[in-house]
Amino acid sequence: MIDRTALAAMTPTQRAHVIYSTAQTELANTLWRAALGDGGAPDRTAADPGLTRSDMDALLKMLAPQGNAADDGSVKTVPCPCDDPAAVTESSSSAAPSSPSEAVVSTAVAGGDGGLGPNARFRAVLCEAAQRTGIPATALATIVDAEAAKGRDGSWNCHSRNPRSSAAGLGQFLNATWEGLAETPGTALNATAQAKGWLNPDGKVSGAARGALLALRYDPTSAIDGIADYARQNLSQLQRRGITTDDSVKTTARAAYLAHHLGLGDAVRFLKGGILPARAHVLLRAQVGAADAEKRIAQAGDPTRAHQQWLLAYIDRRIQPANFAI
């Protein structure tokens, strides 16, 4: 769905880009689902014929929790779409590419040199965000590549839109998540909001400034800064909740993407034994559609396992920082 408040703050050209991207995404949704594929062999996962169960278990183990820290819900976090069941029913925040038909287009493949290819113009922004937050630039690049709609040449579309939710921009941030980042001290977006006078005395986004703030999701620098800040925040909170990962760029990127996709609460539950069946059912249906979800659940045996298989296969396929030489 297109947010009218954000549209009102844009130029006519920007509005045209957003409307076109939204329409293109809607028409392409079934092609994206087809591109994900259904495994047929018994030793393959239902989510991906190229990912064996042992591969999937290894991927989960790489992100497995260490220790017994309790998830007491005491850590304040930026709101994520998947924290709101209503939002998930409409669309899970950012798991699926905003332009499904182009999900098979990889920047690395399109670029032909294992680097940023047609997205080389974002190199400086990625490097600056990495230097500021400590999140590797290649990790940021692969998250953008998994989130944003892309042209046929693999170029990232700054005006990416998900027609089933308010997710927008290179980071596919929902309205609430973006506003939360603006209200979080220490983020680049918070600094911008303060400088522009968009925050009330209590630090909350003012109603009058909401449209202009949401429109910044279409600004590539703001979007990439937001991805970096959100990743840094989520990785820190995962560690506080007992989720310990190694320091490799690949693991950092995958853990950051998992939290970006699910939201902190569901990411912790996912890594500490699995999301409850009812919740997993909702999430899976939001990602692959009702019919495909039921098929995957039947193959896997239960919704938790089916959702786990689908998401781990997707992460294994799409979150590949080594493909982005920066």
- List the chain pLDDT tens, one digit each, 326 residues: 455 666 666 676 766 655 554 444 444 333 333 333 333 333 344 444 444 444 445 555 555 434 433 333 333 333 333 333 333 333 334 534 343 333 334 555 444 444 899 999 999 999 999 999 999 999 999 999 999 999 999 999 999 998 778 899 999 999 999 999 999 999 999 999 999 999 999 999 999 999 999 999 999 999 999 999 999 999 999 999 988 888 899 999 999 999 999 999 999 999 988 899 999 999 999 889 899 999 999 999 999 999 999 999 999 999 999 999 88
Question: What is the value of pTM for the model shown?
Answer: 0.71
- Residue 221, pLDDT score: 98
CATH number reported for the structural domain that contains residue 185 in this entry: 1.10.530.10
Burial class (CB in 10 A: 0-12, 13-18, 19+), 195: exposed
Which two tokens mark 85?
């069941």
First vs last Cα of the chain: how many Å apart? 34
- Residue 215, pLDDT score: 97
Question: The domain containing residue 96 runs over which residues?
Answer: 4-323
- Residue 8, pLDDT score: 66
Which phi and psi angles does 296 have, rounded to 5°?
A: -65, -40
**CB of 4 closer than 8 Å to CB of 175:** no
> From the centroid of its chain, how far is CA 130?
17
DSSP-derived secondary structure letter, 163? T
DSSP-derived secondary structure letter, 139? H
**CB of 218 closer than 8 Å to CB of 107:** no
* Partner residues linked to 199 by β-bridges: 205
**CB of 49 closer than 8 Å to CB of 39:** yes
164-167, Cβ contacts within 8 angstroms, sequence gap of 24 or more: 164/1, 164/90, 164/91, 164/286, 165/1, 165/81, 165/87, 165/90, 165/91, 165/92, 165/93, 166/1, 166/3, 167/81, 167/91, 167/93, 167/94, 167/98
In the chain, how many domains are there?
1
Separation between Cα atoms, residue 245 and residue 211, nearest integer Å: 38
Alpha helices in the chain (DSSP H): 4-8, 12-36, 53-62, 85-90, 107-111, 123-133, 137-147, 175-182, 188-195, 210-215, 220-240, 249-262, 264-271, 277-288, 290-300, 303-318
